[in-house]
Structures are given as structure tokens and as C-alpha cells.
A = this chain, B = another copy of it.
Amino acid sequence: MTVLSPSAIRAAVQSRGPGLAALFDQLRQDGLDEPGVSRDPYGQGEQRAHASVAHVADAMGLEIDRDAAANLYMTLPGRDRSAPRLVIGSHLDSVPHGGNFDGAAGVLAGLCAVGALQALGVTPDRDITVMGIRAEESVWFQVSYIGSRGSLGTLPDGALDVRRVDTGRTLAEHVAECGGDPAALAGRRRYFDPARIHAYLELHIEQAPSLVEAGVPIGICTGIPGNFRYPEARIEGSHDHVGLPRRFRRDAAIAGAEFAMALDTLWAEYEARGIAMACTLVRFHTDAAAHGLTIVPGSFHFSLDIRAYDPAVLAALEAQVERIIAGIEQRRGVRFHLGTRASAAVGPVHPAIRNGLENAAKAQDIPVLLLGSPASHDAAAFAAAGVPVGMVFVRNENGSHNPREAMTIEDFLDGCAVLTQWITDAPVLPSV
């Protein structure tokens, strides 16, 4: 690829700013559902976002394509069209009443990068495909990475039969309505051969305020965490009268509280040692059916999600959880039933991409922080399929999955400049 000056790249990226700000506004209008936006996957919200993005891509002269999962592909042709392509993407759905940037920023960053190349009059070495991915937010269908795994032919068995929690209709019905091909999806017909993808890059707003705290606009991702999860765990104790003295009680809720505090203490220890992890009890509750009764809670329910960046750390954490449970069972006369275990492997970020992004930021004179991604992203589905992946995070004040997401267009364009610089540096990726 032509060698370009960082300042020329920067100017080309900046020139896309007003158009992209307008597209962000359009997406907000498309999905408006006060408070915030709702881009329901395989529903009206996501459909409108796909239409608006495709309209802009078409006006840019990009090649438009769609697959069985109704993902959107917008390609700037390269010199060697047979070379493995570069994919830049993220998802266009949102959580209910979410923010405007979680997901969409990554798609618009792809458009920004290819638009900047167009403005620079550069034809890339290989095709660059900007991907608008379907249905990343698992809240709707309770299945993760539907769009990205659909494109890779790695959707799990039975995924087409799950029902959207609000409509009660199956994923197959929803996909068909949006122009997809559920039968092909069920048959795992893939759009991408992972070996034909040079790399997958994703820009995403940071979902924590680490960059805000550090006063740095851009983060370069060092890894996507693996996890183990127990979505439907419970503790059985004894339903007893509230008059029962403490020494006789087998209170399942207090056992749950002790478990939560032990995990919180464990996390604080890891934090103090500088080992990144996260632990969340999303569900943590007594039986609603017993809430009217004046009884000591005899059963308690929780979900557990523990994530870390190192398989050895995950294994150590799982052993520690087992020891914590054994101690509580013995002290409090209760039994833990963890139920089904789910897990995801640690998603490695390709070291050459990470280094390349750091060098690109240096060339652009943009300060960066190296950050693990405690959240899950479509990049993890590509990494799991063997694709070299990299991620860029953009400073965001108020977390994500809420209407207060706050990314400035300036920070966004900084992220786009890093991406575009990386593309024009045309790195060769050694296999890891």
C-alpha cells in the first residue's frame, strides 16, 4: 500500500467526521425508545439501523452483500481480490433502552476507515469488508454472538428454536422476517471460511471508565476473557419459622450472602495482586413464592459469572469457588446445587495486531492504555474460529447498556485514525 503521512491519514479521517456524526444521529432517531434506544435484533429497531447504514455504504460505492443470518457486508475492493480479506465490524443491535454507541460505533468506524482510504485515493492490498453484525446482545434470545457465529457456521445446536424473550417467537421466524435463511443457518452454511479472513478488527466503546479515569482517549485490547458460568444455581437450606434461634437455622439466603462476600473478598485479593478478573452474581434471590411467608429462607437462587484472561487463573478461581462452597455447606448446613456449567475459552488478541495498533497510535500521536476487555464481543467468536483479532476501545464516561453512554466524536475519530493508520501500515501477521 502507498506510504502515507500520519497527518494526511488524520485529515482524511477527520473529513469523515460530520457525515458519521449525522449517521450516529440517524441511528439514534431510528432506534429511539425513551429512555435510550432499542435496536431489537431481527426486529424493527435493528432493521432500521441496517437500512440506514446500508444506505450510506451504498452512497460510498461499497459492494453490499448479506448472508443467511442477514448480516450486512460492505466491501471496498482491494488490488488482490483473491487475498484473504480484512474485516472491520461490530453489531448493530442494542439492549432495550440502551445507548447509541455500543456496537454501532464499531460499524461506523469501519465505514470511517474505508471512507478515509477513498478520500486518500488509496486502493488497499486486499478487500476490506465492513460488517454490520446481527444480534450480539444475548438479553433478547439468551444466545450469544448469533450474527457473528452465524457468519462463521458456528451457531450452537437448537439456536434457531430459541424464542425472543419479549415476542415469544423463534429466532428462525425472526431471521426469516428480516430476509435471512434459517434453514441454511440451521445447516451451518457459513459465509466466511475463517482461513480466508486476514484479520478481524473491532472498535467498541469502553464499558468501564478506565480510560476516563486515566484521561486517555483510546485503549488497545490485550485479551478477551474466558469465563465459567452457572446460570441457574441454587442453595438448599431449611424453611423454618422466623422465631428459630440462630444456632438451629439453615438459612439459604445467609449462605448466599456469605458466598457473595467470599467472592468479593477473593476478587479484592486478585485486584490487589494486579490480576484482572470479574465476578458477577446477576441473579441473587430468595424464592418469590415464599416472600409472603414469615419463614427463614430455605432456598436461594443465583447465577454466577466469573471471567479472567488467563486459563490458569480461571482454573484457580474455579478451585477456590469449590473450597468456598464446601466451607459454607459445612458451617451452615446447606447444600449448593450449581446446575449446568457453561464456559468460554480465553480469547487471545493477536500479538502482532496489538503491537501494530500501538505503533499506529504512536504514529498518530494518540495516547493509549493497554486494557483487557472484561466484556464479551463479536471478536471473541472470530477468535474462537481461529481468526487473528484485535480491538480498539474508545473512552466513554457512563458505561454501556444504558442511555447515558457518552463517547465524543473527537475520541471516536481518534480511534478511527488508529485503525486507518494500522491498515495503511499493511502489517504482515505472523501466525501465533
Contact = CB atoms under 8 A, between A and B. Distances in A.
A274 to B, nearest CB: 12
A285 interface: yes
A11 interface: no
A300 B33 CA distance: 25
Interface in A254-291: 254, 256-261, 264, 267-268, 271, 276, 278, 280-286, 288, 290-291
B257 A292 contact: no
A375 interface: yes
B209 A248 contact: yes
B374 A243 contact: yes
Interface stretch (A191-199, A395-403, A421-429): A395-403
B242 A280 contact: yes
Given A282-B242, A293-B282, A253 B260 contact: yes
B258 A246 contact: no
Contact of A281 (B253, B281, B294): B253
A373 interface: yes
A254 B264 contact: yes
Contact of A239 (B259, B260, B402): B402
Interface in A135-162: 138-139, 142
A373 B307 CA distance: 47
Nearest to A144: B294
B245 A278 contact: yes
A244 B372 CA distance: 11
A210 B248 CA distance: 9
A427 to B, nearest CB: 28
Interface string A375-389: 110000000000000
A225 to B, nearest CB: 8
A420 interface: no
Contacts of A165: 292
Contacts of A286: 281-285
Contacts of A246: 264, 267-268, 271, 278
A303 B294 CA distance: 10
Interface residues of A, number: 63
A128 interface: no
Contact of A242 (B258, B276, B278): B278
Given A282-B291, A282-B297, A261 B258 contact: yes
A253 B373 contact: no
Given A253-B284, A257-B260, A258-B261, A278 B399 contact: no
Contact of A208 (B248, B257, B282, B294): B248
Contacts of A285: 284-286, 288, 291
A240 interface: yes
B207 A295 contact: no
A375 B242 contact: yes
A256 B302 CA distance: 14
A207 B241 contact: yes
A286 B243 CA distance: 25
A282 B257 contact: no
Most buried by B among A257, A268, A290: A257
Contacts of A271: 245-247
B293 A139 contact: yes
A297 B281 contact: yes
B399 A240 contact: yes
Contacts of A411: none
Given A240-B401, A261-B261, 10 more contacts: A139-B294, A207-B244, A253-B260, A254-B260, A254-B281, A257-B284, A285-B288, A293-B401, A294-B305, A295-B401
Interface of A: 95, 138-139, 142, 165, 207-210, 238-248, 251, 253-254, 256-261, 264, 267-268, 271, 276, 278, 280-286, 288, 290-297, 300, 303, 305, 307, 373-376, 399-402
